[in-house]
């Protein structure tokens, strides 16, 4: 009888601990813990897709450069800038931690923006060379590059949206308390300035007749 009575406090303690654990889980879910988990995973997946498309573009550049070099009179300065910009962009280690480091993230997107600008100038200059315009291999590469740039834009937009949702959650009460406890910090995002670098509309010479523009 004494043994049975002495075991009751332990049983009550276990039940109390289980109840407190259940309440803690309910409190965490009510303060956005599960949503933090979901958005964090979504942002990681979105970032991986951004990197995948940037890598796809980087892999295209050697073939583009090799094709353009076949035009002996092509402006070497423009070509050199593309090569240098690619080297700079691919030299940055895009680790998972990069998305949580504003300075590193800024450096990464600046390098990618410079590569975008260098490629855009290359394509504009290439228009001035009839042999390149008539080169089917170059035109195929150009179409592939345009498709890749579109994929990059889509991937970036997905990442921007996911990170915006995550950051709003991290700053909102009472979710900000959960973020503080578990170390969920706001993530850096692509800025409007960087977005503008890849969204410059093509220039149009309105002095030409419509038939010439086609």
Instruction: Tell me the per-residue pLDDT of 29-39, one tens digit each, with 9 for 90 and over.
Output: 456 889 999 99
Instruction: Tell me the per-residue pLDDT of 91-121, one tens digit each, with 9 for 90 and over.
Output: 998 887 788 899 999 999 999 999 999 999 9
- Per the CB < 8 A criterion, the answer to whether 159 and 43 are in contact is yes
Residues 27, 35: Cα–Cα separation, whole Å:
13
Residues 202, 137: Cα–Cα separation, whole Å:
23
Confidence of residue 26 (pLDDT cuts 50, 70, 90): very low
Residues 96, 47: Cα–Cα separation, whole Å:
9
pLDDT at 213 exceeding the cut of 90? no
Q: What is the mean pLDDT of the chain?
A: 81
34-200: CATH, from 3.40.50.150, 3.40.50.720, 3.40.980.10, 1.20.1440.20: 1.20.1440.20
Instruction: Tell me the per-residue pLDDT of 132-163, one tens digit each, with 9 for 90 and over.
Output: 888 999 999 999 999 999 999 999 999 999 99
């Amino acid at each position: 009888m004494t043994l049975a009575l002495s075991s009751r406090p332990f049983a009550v303690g276990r039940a109390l601990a289980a109840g407190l654990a259940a309440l803690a889980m309910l409190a965490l879910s009510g303060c956005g813990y599960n949503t933090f988990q979901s958005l964090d995973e979504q942002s990681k997946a979105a970032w991986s897709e951004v990197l995948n498309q940037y890598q796809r573009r980087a892999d295209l550049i050697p073939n583009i450069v090799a094709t353009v070099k076949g035009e002996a009179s092509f402006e070497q300065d423009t070509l050199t800038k593309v090569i240098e910009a690619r080297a700079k962009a691919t030299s940055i280690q895009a680790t998972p931690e990069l998305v949580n480091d504003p300075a590193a993230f800024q450096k990464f997107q600046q390098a990618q923006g410079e590569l975008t600008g260098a490629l855009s100038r290359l394509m504009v200059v290439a228009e001035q060379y009839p042999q390149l315009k008539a080169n089917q291999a170059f035109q195929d590469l150009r179409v592939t590059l345009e498709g890749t740039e579109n994929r990059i834009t889509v991937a970036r937009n997905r990442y921007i949206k996911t990170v915006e949702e995550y950051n709003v959650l991290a700053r909102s009460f009472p979710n900000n308390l959960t973020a503080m406890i578990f170390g969920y910090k706001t993530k850096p995002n692509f800025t409007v300035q960087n977005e503008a670098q890849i969204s410059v509309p093509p220039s149009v010479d309105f002095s030409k007749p419509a038939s010439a523009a086609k």
